[in-house]
């Protein structure tokens, strides 16, 4: 969705379209969509962290190794089988 939003913004810059009500370029409105999408991913992650009551590995964290991520996935699958 983020990539598609950027494509739409590029098209809006090339072929400007103005808001009928406010008469402002729609490219500025569409520039908000990628940020909203990325923020919603973070919000969902925070909600899941609160519901599951455990730390969820941040995939964007450079210090997190691939082995830590694999171990977290395996642990979460094992907990699901025990319940």
For residues 65 and 9, which has the higher predicted lDDT (pLDDT)? Answer: 9
Whether 56 contacts 49, CB under 8 Å: yes
Who's near 33: CB < 8 A, 6+ residues apart? 1, 5, 8
Task: Please give the structure tokens belonging to residue 53.
Answer: 């009551």
| Dihedral angle computed from the Cα positions of residues 65, 71, 76 and 80, in that order, rounded to the nearest 10 degrees | 160
pLDDT of 82 higher than 60: no
pLDDT of 14 higher than 70: yes
Per-residue pLDDT tens over the stretch 30-60: 888 888 888 888 888 888 888 888 777 666 6
Residue spans of the domains in the chain: they are: 1-52, 56-83
The percentage of the chain sitting over the pLDDT mark of 70, rounded to a whole number, equals: 76
């Amino acid at each position: 969705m983020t990539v598609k939003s950027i494509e739409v913004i590029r098209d809006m810059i090339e072929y400007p379209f103005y808001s009928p009500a406010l008469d402002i370029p729609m490219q500025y409105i569409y520039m908000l969509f990628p940020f909203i999408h990325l923020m919603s991913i973070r919000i969902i992650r925070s909600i899941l962290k609160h519901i599951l009551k455990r730390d969820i590995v941040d995939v964007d964290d450079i210090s997190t190794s691939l082995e830590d991520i694999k171990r977290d996935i395996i642990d979460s699958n094992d907990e699901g089988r025990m319940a």
